[in-house]
A = this chain, B = another copy of it.
Amino acid sequence: MSVADAAWLPPLAWRVIGSRRIRVTGSGPLVETVVDELRQACARFGGEVVRRVDGIPCDLELSLDGDTALGPEGYELSSAGGRTRLRAARPHGLLHGLFHLVRLGGAPATGTYRPAMPRRMLDHWDNVDVHPVMGQVERGYAGGSLFWRAGVARRDWPRVTAYARLLASCGVNAVALNNVNVHATEAHLLTDRLGEVAELAAVFRRYGIRTHLSVSFAAPVLHGLETADPLDERVRRWWATTTAQVYAAIPDFGGYLVKADSEGQPGPFTYGRSHADGANLLAEALAPYGGVVHWRAFVYDHRQDWRDRSVDRARAAFDHFTPHDGAFRVNVVLQVKHGPLDFQAREPVSPLIAAMPATRVAVEFQITQEYTGQQKHVCYLAPMWSELLRGVNGPAIIDSAAELVAVANTGDDPYWTGHPLAQANLYAFGRLGWDPGLDPAAVLDEWASLTFPGVPHEALHAIMDDSWRTYERYTAPLGVGFMVRPGHHYGPDVDGYEYTPWGTYHHADRDGVGVDRTVATGTACAGLYPQPWTRIYESPDECPDELALFFHHLPYGHVLRSGSTVIQHIYDTHFAGAREAAEMRERWADLAGTMPPAKYERVRELLDEQVRSAEEWRDQINSYFFRKSGVPDAKGRRIY
């Protein structure tokens, strides 16, 4: 199986483009990419591409004469008399429109399309070297890096090209090529290793994707300066000079991504400066070239005393950053994780997102399944992202965020994402960034048609549509989060983080469980939201069940909005979740023979592991709460 066949957009998908007479007008590198794509389709399926305007009518016309209101990436599709027309104001629009036509698979096309989020960015947590604990891709579950191997650029250009094409086809238009935890080797990508970055950037540029780098705030020190103080003139000059050299090598370089003063990374706090000072330093260096700083808001005390219940990690980013709203330069993007803790399967939206009206905010999702089954479990994340974007259980992200960013789930695995079905999350991220209103099930149909041509969608929907909720059911209950094995974060350990400095607790005792984050008696995190959410979260009766234990410490006998008690809800959802995992495996068996055997087998084996793991979660969580509460299961099922 070729790499191209292992993901969506296999050669066969281009049949709908080939066999036709196609005219392309306009020029520039991205237009040439469009023409190349079309010519390859025609070479395989017949048809021809013409570049000049002549009198002969075409089946498909792509032209750069669209309304400038379409913006740099928008396009307009129209069909009449068996002819299809794609118009854009800029070449990037033609590229997006082309992939749209492929997605349509020949169905008639009409309408105007513009992205909701102007930047849809993928952060790769790839290390150039293999980290002794984290491996090469931090929180990566799909093999090694696509970009780096054995300490240098891997230079597997066909593979990187195929990857850039996949990303462009779902709408991603920016990538960061190295881990936000910047180690010693990776700090030199910015300077003496810049040539390797430029080579990669050239490949991504062909598909309209701009390249960014994660940088260390201590980079000046790592390069021989005695300080990295953002207010030091020598430091400003160092960043200005360094940035000028970056743009000399990569004229469309996107900018810097920075994790500062977080989990041991250096930052402006070292010098008694604020995060605004730190971010503005880099923004100033980038401004002349149109570059941006993505400054991560993931700042909290990871040496917290678990005994001190007045400290709340869920407030940390809010408390750190809201005083600086308005103090950031316009080319600073504050990059905020979607939840206030850390990419849990269920969290409220981060209160910081809606609290920075004078700052450009990007919201960060995690496609790589660190806390959602590590690409051993099927967990289709689009429904979660869709709820967060649209605001089902809290303020809508689309009301505040200007960009969407995600941590990539890809690697050099033949299926790109380890679990073949995890590809759908990458695809859906790009699509939802373009249009947050898309129905996750419709996105799944798009991806499935492109990926499993000829496979009936029914079984895929049965397995994937509700898989995030299934995962939620058999893991940490009612929004309380964590309960994972410390360090690697796979599998259950209810107390794994309970007495640690990481700030992620559940406070279970023999009477109840959950974190009191109310204004009345707790850490007041519930009070950081706009109304009506502060009122809703504050009330144990109004708070959505999904977030009940995130905001409240509740007795085991407390009756939820569902009518169930907390303890019976725990038992019921855990038995249900494990049963649903087993049902997924049964449904997958229906698909034997509909796809290449290796792909079928890969998923089948992973479903075995998912079923095993779901049962382990079920039994550990149920046993833990039964041993603690002493309340038997109302249905008398086996608890250990």
List the interface of chain A (C-beta within 8 A of B): 132-133, 306-307, 485-487, 492-496, 499, 508-511, 616, 619-620, 623-624, 626-630, 640
14 of the cross-chain contacts (CB-CB < 8 Å) are A133-B133, A485-B486, A486-B486, A493-B495, A494-B499, A495-B495, A495-B496, A499-B620, A499-B624, A509-B626, A510-B629, A510-B630, A511-B630, A628-B628
Which of B132, B510, B619 lies in contact with A307, CB distance below 8 A?
B619
CB pair A627 B493 closer than 8 Å: no
Which residues of the partner chain B approach A492 to less than 8 Å between Cβ atoms? 499
- Chain B nearest CB from A109 CB (Å) reads 53
A486 to B490 Cα, complex, angstroms: 14
Which residues of the partner chain B approach A494 to less than 8 Å between Cβ atoms? 495, 499
Which residues of the partner chain B approach A509 to less than 8 Å between Cβ atoms? 626-628, 630
CB pair B623 A510 closer than 8 Å: no
Number of this chain's copies in the complex: 2
Nearest 5 pairs between A and B by C-beta? A509-B627, A495-B495, A307-B640, A499-B620, A132-B132
Which residues of the partner chain B approach A616 to less than 8 Å between Cβ atoms? 499
CB pair B493 A499 closer than 8 Å: yes
Which residues of the partner chain B approach A629 to less than 8 Å between Cβ atoms? 510
- Chain B nearest CB from A567 CB (Å) reads 13
Give the interface SS of chain A, mostly helix, strand, loop or mixed: loop
A638, closest chain B residue (CB): B307
- Other CB < 8 Å A-B pairs besides A509-B627, A509-B628, A509-B630, 5 of them? A132-B133, A495-B496, A499-B616, A499-B620, A510-B627
- Chain B nearest CB from A630 CB (Å) reads 5
Which residues of the partner chain B approach A132 to less than 8 Å between Cβ atoms? 132-133
User: Beyond A487-B487, A495-B494, is A510–B628 a contact (Cβ under 8 Å)?
Assistant: yes
CB pair A627 B508 closer than 8 Å: yes
A515 to B260 Cα, complex, angstroms: 47
- Chain B nearest CB from A481 CB (Å) reads 17
Q: Which of A508, A511, A640 has the most CB of B within 10 A?
A: A640
A500 to B133 Cα, complex, angstroms: 21
Which residues of the partner chain B approach A499 to less than 8 Å between Cβ atoms? 492-494, 616, 619-620, 623-624
- Chain B nearest CB from A80 CB (Å) reads 63
A616 to B627 Cα, complex, angstroms: 24
Which residues of the partner chain B approach A630 to less than 8 Å between Cβ atoms? 509-511
Which residues of the partner chain B approach A640 to less than 8 Å between Cβ atoms? 306-307
Which residues of the partner chain B approach A486 to less than 8 Å between Cβ atoms? 485-486
Which residues of the partner chain B approach A628 to less than 8 Å between Cβ atoms? 509-510, 627-628
A509 to B640 Cα, complex, angstroms: 11
- Chain B nearest CB from A505 CB (Å) reads 11
A629, closest chain B residue (CB): B510
Which residues of the partner chain B approach A511 to less than 8 Å between Cβ atoms? 630
A496 to B493 Cα, complex, angstroms: 7
Which residues of the partner chain B approach A307 to less than 8 Å between Cβ atoms? 619, 623, 640
- Chain B nearest CB from A305 CB (Å) reads 10
A624 to B628 Cα, complex, angstroms: 11
A620 to B496 Cα, complex, angstroms: 12
- Chain B nearest CB from A299 CB (Å) reads 25
A492 to B626 Cα, complex, angstroms: 23
Which residues of the partner chain B approach A487 to less than 8 Å between Cβ atoms? 487
- Chain B nearest CB from A493 CB (Å) reads 7
- Chain B nearest CB from A150 CB (Å) reads 16
A307 to B620 Cα, complex, angstroms: 9
- Chain B nearest CB from A506 CB (Å) reads 11
